[in-house]
Amino acid sequence: MAVSPETVLITGASSGIGRELARCFARAGSDCILLARTEEALRELAETLESDYGITAHVLPADLSTPGIGSTIIQNLNDRDLSVDVLVNNAGFGVRGRFSDLDPQRQVDMIQVNVTALTDLTRRLLPAMEERNRGGVLNVASTAAFQPGPFMSVYYATKAYVLSFSEGLADELDASNVTVSCLAPGPTRTTFVEKANMNETHLFQWGVPMTPETVAQAGYEGFRAERTLTVPGWPNKIGAAMVRFTPRSIARGIAGWLNR
């Protein structure tokens, strides 16, 4: 009996790292479910993936900042008889500025997308993976996860959650064939930079941002190698390691300077 292709659900698939992760999985022969707010961009990507790699790509427009969106997504998958083997929680955004100056709803939406929706989708899809004893979850965090981040305090906190959550789950599932992996990229040249108002920060003025293609490939390879954590790029690896031995007062001071 023929084995069905692996089906991968990728959130935030319309651009940047998410789009490139979709390419990585499709290139390897996985069918893709592409989720983001922008339906037109998703349909263009789906057509490209099907044409270039001969896979099946499904489009699932959804706004992850909507409370309770997880149940709507699962209902949509059930209605279309789609089973998810791998969940890629890539969707996320950041906002730069003093916490008390930023729009309060925007901050709450950030937690909803970066933390709540990620957790909800994982909880809803993981039990079936465990029952089949295959598949997994790839969560996209950031090197922001390793220290507090003044002027992006909520964003850094959400990414710290993603990293801690991923590592905890990975240990829980260590004896199974279900993989939980976390990708923690440093500065990457995507639309995230403009949306978060980060173009003029020291981080992007002094650093050398990676391309989303390179970051996605590293994350994909890390997931396939069953690595719990992948930090792409040697400067990012060194920075993440140094934080562990740096007093937190100094680490957060450096992060605040980079975000100015």
User: Under a CB-based contact definition with an 8 Å cutoff, are residues 138 and 87 in contact?
Assistant: yes
Q: How far apart are CA 97 and CA 101, in angstroms?
A: 7
Sign of the Cα torsion 208, 217, 179, 137 reads: positive
What residue spans define the domains of the chain?
A: 7-258
Q: How far apart are CA 26 and CA 95, in angstroms?
A: 31
pLDDT recorded at residue 1:
41
Q: What is the CA radius of gyration of the chain?
A: 18
Pick left, alpha or beta for residue 192 (phi over 0 → left; psi -120 to 50 → alpha; otherwise beta). alpha
Active site members: 155
Which of the following CATH numbers is that of domain 7-258: 3.40.50.300, 3.40.50.1000, 1.10.8.80, 3.40.50.720?
Answer: 3.40.50.720
Pick left, alpha or beta for residue 8 (phi over 0 → left; psi -120 to 50 → alpha; otherwise beta). beta
At residue 139, the 3 state secondary structure works out as strand
| Helix, strand, coil abundance in the chain, percent, nearest 5 | 50, 15, 35
Q: How far apart are CA 93 and CA 165, in angstroms?
A: 18
pLDDT recorded at residue 23:
98
Q: How far apart are CA 68 and CA 86, in angstroms?
A: 21
Q: Which of 242, 260, 160, 244 is nearest to 202 (CA)?
A: 260
Residues in the chain: 260
Q: Print pLDDT tens along the chain (260 aa).
A: 445 789 999 999 999 999 999 999 999 999 999 999 999 999 999 999 999 999 999 999 999 999 999 999 999 999 999 999 999 999 999 999 999 999 999 999 999 999 999 999 999 999 999 999 999 999 999 999 999 999 999 999 999 999 999 999 999 999 999 999 999 999 887 765 555 555 565 555 556 789 999 999 999 999 999 999 999 998 889 988 888 876 676 756 666 557 66
* pTM for this model (two decimals): 0.91
pLDDT recorded at residue 64:
98
At residue 172, the 3 state secondary structure works out as helix
